[in-house]
Structure 1
Amino acid sequence: MLPKSRILSALLVGLGLALVAAALAAPAFLNGDARFPLDLEKTTWTLKDPQAKVGEDTTAVTRQLHMTVQNPATDKVVALRIGDTLRREDKGDDLENLISAATWSLEMDRKTGEFVKPAKLSTVMVMPEEVFPAEGVWLKFPSNVQQQDYEVFEPTLRKAVPAAFTGEDEIGGRTVYTFEQKVEPVNVATLYTDMTNTITAPPEQGGEQAFLHHEATRTFAVDQVTGVVVGMTEKVDDYYADRDGNRVQEVVSYDAAMDEAQQIGLAEQLTDVTQDVSRTVTWVVIGLGGVLVLLGLAGAFRPGGGGARGGRQKPDRKLDA
């Protein structure tokens, strides 16, 4: 039977190795890995262009995305409701100002930013809610964003379009990576059916069908640690064209951006969201595990720790009187 000191040493080595293994796996399970925060106060992205074209008019327009957290909201996923509006600023009535409005219901992985269920879409036209597969990321990129391309959701096309890494910057004291998404002119009517995708051109233009075309260039400024989008620009050109691609009617054309103060506000609220918690726990537990392994090994190979060499020590015999 092994001496108690050897048994204790073996237990220390085993416990130390188990702690090291647990520490290496810890970042996958701890909330300190900068996954999407559930308590953000600023969740509105407002982009403005003072000289946009709406039909044949020149006017200011405002594109706004407003996000609210819904249930379920767990350690892994969160449901989001995103209101998406485009308004002109030259009309007196809010409804008259409205160019388009939609509400997106999405469920997102809090770490990767990817959608985990089909998206639901409600529009201002009071049509039945639509459900369709959602691809890529949108207002939240993966935590610990890398300098690479990402597939980013494009709401007009209802699918993901690549956004290329273009550089590094700083907003509100936070490191941000910038990405550019380019959408070449697309006939939206070829992607899905919608009552706004097709019109009949005026008689003077042949009276034939015309189809909604969409072209866009966007930039995203993304907080490097959390992946939350803190800045955005958007250049959009929507118009109807005939089967040969000839323009027959303008819809809206704008080049909008967020103001600097809003970007700083979005970034500064992420100041307390870091990866330090999981990193600290990982290194502390690895250190403790390493100490236990060393103590165990020291005890196992300590001279004399297991008795005399060659086996157990024989007891002294009593001499007969």
Structure 2
Amino acid sequence: MRRIISFILLGLGVFAVALGLLLRFYAYPQLAKIPLDNESTSVSEGDGITALIIRTEDGAPVPEIRQNLSLTSTTYVTGDLTQPEVEEDGDVAVYVEATRTTDDATGIVVDASVRSLCIDRHSNEAVAPCEGQFIEEEQGKRITADRNTVQQPGLSFKFPFGTEKRDYKFYDLSVREPVDARFDGEETIQGVNTYRYVMAVPPTKIADREVPGSLVDQEDEPSVDAEVYYQVKRTVWVEPETGIVVVGQQEGKQELLTEGQDPGEGTIVFQGTLRFNETTINDNVTKAQDNMSKLSLLTSWPVAMWVAGAILTVVGVLMLIAGYRRGGRHGFDPPLRRQPAGAAR
């Protein structure tokens, strides 16, 4: 009986270890993917903001810098299932992001953009080939790239599953290149542990513009050539198991520099802070918690199975060894030998 129990324990131990390996190294890569048909909305808000407003007067656009504005920025992210890179069980998703920032008081659109890119469903980094990638920050002026070129490199939308305490590259739409997302510590938000990352872009030229002279204190000039400079400090709080950005905050500044001006001396056309509103944060916390519970089956359970399997295997081996030693010391009953019929007894 002891030997039977020993083999049962050994079998259970090997099964537990094998099942743990299967969950962690086969099931986890298959299930820890962003969805192809993603559909999400995030809303950021801010008060006391300086921004350039384009109002309409007598049917003509009139630029005007206003202060102490309340702005709302809404970002929609959807999965594009029509692109050739998208396959049901594939590793590439195509996401389209549309962002619009409006003045709460007037409803005037302050800023808007649309972009599309292909991303790896595990790491969430942009990948190529990508047929339909584009960036559009001015209506009707869509910037595309060769399908074999990664137009928007780095992370976008979220961080990878199993986010680590290290720096990452995150794409910045304004400077059109990835910037360092530096790990800045841990913080608990509504009971969810998050990693905080900070992205800082120093004053950087992002465009040339021809603007009305009145906009840059040159009333006598109908138009003036100016350079647009941008700087930002963006902070995100990321739930590490899922990579979901729970909270996002952006402290930004843009200014117009004319000839002879240095950054900090120009005309400010945007300055202020936008942060996820409470509804968005609550939704992200709920989403992170739901996904954490699903992923725990594939991350924490394998560890428990490996530990249990190792214990069962060791106990089974020890019982076998103890049985053999007991048999060698005291002797097992020898098997009965059959004697031929009629043999002397």
Q: TM-score range by the shorter chain?
A: 0.7 to 0.9
Aligned to 1:234: 250
Aligned to 1:308: none
Q: Alpha carbons of 1:245 and 1:109: their partners in 2 closer, same or farther (altered >3 Å)?
A: farther
User: Is contact 1:174–1:268 with CA below 8 Å preserved after alignment?
Assistant: no
Q: Alpha carbons of 1:33 and 1:205: their partners in 2 closer, same or farther (altered >3 Å)?
A: farther
Q: Alpha carbons of 1:133 and 1:39: their partners in 2 closer, same or farther (altered >3 Å)?
A: closer
Aligned to 1:30: 27
What pairs up with 1:1-321 in 2 under 5 angstroms? 20=17, 23-24=20-21, 26-31=23-28, 35-38=32-35, 43-55=40-52, 56-58=65-67, 59-71=69-81, 72=86, 74=89, 76-91=91-106, 97-117=108-128, 119-131=133-145, 133-189=151-207, 197-199=208-210, 202=213, 204=220, 209-242=225-258, 244-246=260-262, 249-274=267-292, 275-278=295-298, 279-281=300-302, 283-284=304-305, 287-288=308-309, 291=312, 303=324
> What RMSD, in angstroms, separates the aligned Cα atoms of the two structures?
4.3
Q: Alpha carbons of 1:98 and 1:266: their partners in 2 closer, same or farther (altered >3 Å)?
A: same
User: Is contact 2:20–2:301 with CA below 8 Å preserved after alignment?
Assistant: no
Q: Alpha carbons of 1:78 and 1:31: their partners in 2 closer, same or farther (altered >3 Å)?
A: farther
User: Is contact 1:180–1:217 with CA below 8 Å preserved after alignment?
Assistant: yes
Helix, strand or coil for the counterpart of 1:30?
helix
Offset, 1:240: 1.8
The higher relative CO (CA closer than 8 Å, separation ≥ 6) is in: 1
Whole-angstrom distance in 2 between the partners of 1:101 and 1:111 = 29
**Percentage of pairs with the same residue:** 18
Offset, 1:259: 2.5
User: Is contact 1:210–1:248 with CA below 8 Å preserved after alignment?
Assistant: no
Q: Alpha carbons of 1:316 and 1:266: their partners in 2 closer, same or farther (altered >3 Å)?
A: closer
| Matched length | 302
Structure 1 unaligned segments of length 5 or more: list them. Answer: 190-196, 305-314
Offset, 1:84: 1.4
TM-score by length of 1: 0.73
Offset, 1:30: 2.1
Structure 2 unaligned segments of length 5 or more: list them. Answer: 53-64, 326-336
User: Is contact 1:239–1:252 with CA below 8 Å preserved after alignment?
Assistant: yes
Offset, 1:303: 4.5
One-letter code aligned to 2:49: A
Structure 1 segments (4+ residues) deviating >6 Å: 12-19, 39-42, 296-302, 315-318
Offset, 1:180: 1.5
Q: Alpha carbons of 1:40 and 1:260: their partners in 2 closer, same or farther (altered >3 Å)?
A: farther
